[in-house]
């Protein structure tokens, strides 16, 4: 694909060699969306025109850069891109937001609006965005109400079902969370919102086996070079909801010894990201911390 340039924005390809200039450096001026795709990916072909249309509507406030993961697998691999299409937004040299899958135009529009401000109204997307914001602020009741209202407008909406499941997990009602996940239509069973909520539910169900947190903290304090104890501590911290601390423990391992346990610390961090969801604030923070190690 040749570079496409309009009066308002640029849509271009990038490579492993040019990624730092096209994305890291360019994002110092305005947000840059990176579309990770492959020629064989049908959903990628569905998303591409929607994404380009939305970027054009932003009138130069964002740029779009496309990376073929077949030709350039290194960077998507480092960032934990495990399925495509995947879109990651960079600002000031760091990944700040993202989504996966061939999402509808309304969701792409809302994604860009979080970066650059309103582009126009969308009632369903407004409900979902408000529910997402309430969830980020730990307002479980308000978030659940918003997701339920969205579900009333569009029964089977994966984002609403996934959000409702997550709010039940936050409340400790794991059986109710599973009930909402089971309501997802078969064709949406692998939707990122459903997959993330399912992963979060599995982590919650495993929390009782997370290990002795105090014992692991003592082990790491006694021997900061004990990567296995630090790895186990990260798992225990995540199970207790201390997610930033969990991220920091894994990042410390990656910084010290990337090859430890066959890159196990980075892989575990990516599993956390999947469970938390690509738009979760802690996923964004974790990706920034991971990126600071990988691209420093």
Q: Categorize the per-residue pLDDT at 190 as very low, low, confident or very high, splitting at 50, 70 and 90.
A: confident
Q: What is the mean pLDDT of the chain?
A: 87
* Fold agreement (4-116, 123-207): no
Q: Is CATH 3.30.70.60 the classification given to domain 4-116? A: no
pLDDT tens track for 230-263: 998 988 898 888 999 999 999 999 999 999 999 9
3-state secondary structure 233-250: HHHHHHHCCCHHHHHHHH
CA distance 287 to 276: 12
CA distance 61 to 273: 28
pLDDT tens track for 21-69: 999 999 998 899 999 999 999 999 999 999 998 888 888 889 999 999 9
Domain boundaries, the chain: 4-116, 123-207, 210-294
Say if CB 164 and CB 144 are below 8 A apart.
Answer: yes
**Residue showing tokens 């993961």:** 69
- Collapse the DSSP code of 59 into the 3-class scheme (helix H, G, I; strand E, B; otherwise coil) and give the result: coil
DSSP state of 23: I
- Smallest Cα–Cα separation from 280: which of 10, 98, 80? 98
- What CATH class is the domain 123-207? mainly alpha
DSSP state of 183: T
- Smallest Cα–Cα separation from 160: which of 171, 145, 147, 144? 147
Percent pLDDT > 90 in the chain is 51
Considering only the C-alpha atoms of the chain, give the largest distance between any 2 of them, rounded to a whole number of Å: 60
Known active-site residue 241: no
Q: How many CB atoms lie within 10 A of CB 296?
A: 6
CA distance 205 to 172: 10
Question: Which residue among the candidates 11, 33, 34, 41 is catalytic per the annotation?
Answer: 41
CATH, domain 210-294, list 3.40.47.10, 1.25.40.10, 2.70.98.10, 3.30.750.24: 1.25.40.10
Question: Which residue among the candidates 33, 44, 135, 250 is catalytic per the annotation?
Answer: 44
Known active-site residue 44: yes
> What pLDDT, on the 0 to 100 scale, is given for residue 1?
41
> What pLDDT, on the 0 to 100 scale, is given for residue 122?
52
CA distance 85 to 42: 9
The answer to whether residue 210 scores a pLDDT higher than 70 is no
> What pLDDT, on the 0 to 100 scale, is given for residue 126?
82
The answer to whether residue 7 scores a pLDDT higher than 70 is no
Beta-strand runs (E) in the chain:
4-5, 10-13, 32-37, 63-68, 86-91, 94-100
């Amino acid at each position: 694909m040749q570079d496409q340039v309009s009066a308002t924005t640029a849509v271009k390809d990038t490579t492993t060699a040019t990624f730092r200039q096209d994305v890291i450096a360019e994002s110092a001026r305005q947000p840059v969306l990176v579309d990770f795709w492959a020629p064989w990916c049908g959903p990628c072909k569905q998303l591409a025109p929607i994404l380009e249309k939305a970027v054009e509507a932003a009138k130069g406030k964002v740029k779009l850069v496309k990376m073929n993961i077949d030709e350039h697998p290194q960077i998507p691999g480092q960032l934990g891109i495990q399925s495509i299409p995947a879109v990651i937004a960079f600002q000031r040299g760091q990944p700040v937001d993202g989504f996966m899958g061939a999402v509808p135009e309304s969701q792409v529009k809302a994604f860009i609006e979080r970066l650059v401000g309103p582009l126009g109204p969308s009632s369903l997307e407004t409900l979902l965005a408000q529910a997402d914001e309430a969830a980020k602020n730990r307002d479980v009741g308000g978030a659940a109400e918003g997701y339920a209202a969205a579900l009333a407008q569009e029964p089977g909406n994966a984002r609403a079902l996934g959000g409702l499941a997550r709010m039940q997990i936050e409340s400790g009602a794991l059986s109710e969370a599973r009930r909402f996940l089971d309501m997802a239509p078969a064709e949406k069973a692998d939707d990122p919102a459903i997959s993330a909520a399912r992963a979060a539910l599995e982590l919650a169900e495993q929390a009782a086996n997370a290990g002795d947190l105090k014992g692991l903290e003592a082990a790491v304090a006694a021997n900061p070079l004990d990567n296995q104890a630090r790895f186990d501590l990260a798992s225990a911290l995540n199970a207790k909801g201390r997610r930033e601390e969990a991220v920091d423990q894994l990042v410390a391992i990656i910084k010290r010894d990337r090859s430890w346990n066959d890159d196990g610390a980075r892989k575990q961090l990516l599993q956390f990201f999947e469970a938390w969801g690509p738009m979760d604030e802690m996923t964004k923070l974790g990706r920034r911390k991971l990126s600071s190690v990988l691209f420093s």
